[in-house]
Structure 1
Amino acid sequence: MDDDFSERAALPVEHGGDRKAQLVETLRRRILSLELKPGAIVDEVELGAEFGLSRPPVRELLRQMAAEGYLELAPNRATRVSALSYESIRSFFQCAPVIYSATTQLAAERATPADVARLRAIQARFKEAIAAHDIDLRIHCNDQFHLEIGKIANNAHFMPSLQRVLLDHARLGKIFHQPSPSAEKSFTSMAVHEHDLIIDAIERQDASAAVEIIRTHMELSRRRMSSYAMPDFLNIPLAS
């Protein structure tokens, strides 16, 4: 894995707008999947060459992604992927339940049948990713699921915070992926079930139920990460 974004195969490109959208989507996926690690340098010259864009539009796209929390920009310094430190993890666990609850409540109050249909389509891809044991696609679909709820909520003040929460949630999900098949199967089965319950609550516009489920869903993620960091004691006999 190259932290300096070098030696990547160029992707096919088409019109300028398509190239810009492709750059943003590809860069987001690389960050969410940890292909680009926290703190990794993002070279705008290499990005421009890869996607067939000049430096001004690349810089503008990087500024946009920095505003969304994906990147860190500083004068006279290279652009870097946002750090993931002890403080940022602590902030995530303080903020995530509040943001998820607020956006899910608003989504339940405002969702249209078309909104619910989009959530179900994303959920279908989430299930397919799990069945295929594709962790990167699973993380991406989970990110899209909760982002879509934020779009349905349609609150400009919540969206920047939601995007940063989702960024760290995705990266933590990859870091704390359970190598144990039984543990991972238990987690993914519960995550799928809770997603279905969230969609059902949003569809019937039951905001209270939707908020309760999303809090339970967040607790599932917290327990999963805690169990990874502090596993059960190994069954090793003590020396006499």
Structure 2
Amino acid sequence: MDKRQVKGSGWRTVYETLRNEILTLTLQPGQLLDENTLAERFGMSRSPVREALIRLAGEELVVTLSNRSTIVAPIEVRTFPKYVEALDIAQRMTTRLAAALRTAADLKQIASRQQSFEAAVQANDYLEMSEANKQFHLAIAKAGKNPYFTSFYERLLNQGQRMLHLHFEYIERTQDSYLLTDEHNQMFEAIRAKDVDLADQLAHAHTRQFQDNFINFMRENYTSDVSLSPLTTSGNKHARRD
């Protein structure tokens, strides 16, 4: 990186660069982020580096340890069942509300976000895909007119972006499934038709597809000791790692 381009531009350059590298797994989970090393890399003092790390910590992308060192937040396989359980509930609820309460302006915004996602798919850009996917689902959540659900859902989507990146990579490489474009379009049509029950079903299937592909990726690349029972429509059975 050309230090002349970033020197003096403040914490935002550090934040955006590190965030992208964390989301794309260029910076691996658990990797140490040393303030002095980063300050030298970006040609800045430690203050903007520290500010960037604080903001990344707010998104739960980095973790400060008891000895005050900072690392890239681990991807916790053991807690994935609880994560996907919460994601399933939030995704179904926000999509149901959108189907019930959406306006014409909401539909226009959701469609625009879907177009951005499709463009990222065409470009085969996983980082843009994960960001566009998040914005598509947030547009749906905002159409549901409940800011508390939207805030909770956004936090879950932020936490899941690295896992989604792996999900995209797995689908693209194995061709065992399809990318999310068709599922997004089906959800959009259910919301446009104000079909609340169908929107719920599609949102649930969307979560289940993400769960299955992520677990298959983890089994293939990291561990064979992953056992998940499938999500059910009623939500009474949840994923579990033995």
- Same fold, TM exceeding 0.5? yes
1:201 and 2:190 aligned: yes
Question: Which among 174, 181, 202 is matched to residue 192 of structure 1?
Answer: 181
Q: Deviation digits for residues 176-198 of structure 1, max 9, x if unmatched?
A: 532765615x421xx21110122
Picking from 160, 175, 184, the partner of 1:183 is 175
Letter in 2 for 1:202: I
1:142, distance to aligned residue in structure 2 (A)? 1.7
Residue 72 (structure 1) aligns with? 63
| Match of residue 203 from structure 2 | 214
Could you tell me how far 1:107 is from its partner in structure 2? Answer: 3.4
What's the CA shift for 1:214? Answer: 0.8
Q: Could you say if the C-alpha distance between residues 205 and 136 of structure 1 is closer, same or farther in structure 2, counting changes exceeding 3 Å?
A: same
Match of 2:80 in 1: 89
Q: Verify the 8 A CA contact 2:7 2:42 in the aligned structure 1.
A: no
The 1:78/1:226 distance shift into structure 2, 3 A limit, reads closer
1:90 and 1:76 mapped to 2: Cα distance?
A: 30
One-letter code aligned to 2:214: M
Distance verdict in 2 for CA 1:73–1:204, change over 3 Å:
farther
Q: Deviations over 1:174-224 (max 9, x none)?
A: 33532765615x421xx2111012222333444333222111111111222
Distance in 2 separating the partners of 1:136 and 1:43: 24
* Distance (Å, rounded) in 2 between the aligned partners of 1:37 and 1:98: 29
**2:110 touches 2:139 (CA, 8 Å); kept in 1?**
yes
What is the aligned length? Answer: 219
Q: Check conservation: 2:15, 2:55, Cα contact below 8 A.
A: no
Query: Partner amino acid for 1:144?
Result: Q
Match of 2:21 in 1: 30
Cα displacement (A) at 1:164? 4.2
Opposite residue 174 of structure 1, the aligned amino acid is H
TM-score of the superposed pair, with normalisation by structure 2: 0.70
Summarize the Cα distance change of 1:62–1:230 in structure 2 as closer, same or farther, 3 Å threshold: closer
Maintained 8 Å contact 1:72/1:81:
yes
Contact between 1:32 and 1:140, CA under 8 Å: does it hold in 2?
no
| Alignment partner, residue 142 of structure 1 | 133
Question: Given the two structures, how large is their TM-score scaled by the length of structure 1?
Answer: 0.70
Contact (CA 8 Å) 1:29, 1:140: kept in 2 or not? no
Q: Which residue of 1 aligns with 2:109?
A: 118
Partner Cα distance (1:88, 1:158) in 2: 21
Give the root-mean-square deviation of aligned CA atoms. Answer: 3.5
The one-letter code sitting in structure 2 at the alignment partner of 1:175 is L
Report the CA distance shift for 1:144/1:41 in structure 2 as closer, same or farther (over 3 A): farther
1:135-160 per-residue CA deviation (whole Å, 9 max, x = no partner) reads: 33323322332233344445454455
Partner SS state of residue 127, structure 1: helix
Contact 1:11-1:51 at 8 Å conserved across structures: no
Q: Percent identity?
A: 28
Q: Which amino acid aligns with 1:90?
A: P
Structure 2, unaligned runs of 5 or more: 221-242
Distance in 2 (alpha carbons) for counterparts of 1:165 and 1:71: 15
Q: Do 1:69 and 1:164's aligned partners in 2 also have CA atoms closer than 8 Å?
A: no
1:49-64 matched pairs, under 5 angstroms = 55-56=46-47, 58-64=49-55
Distance 1:76 1:182 in 2: 41
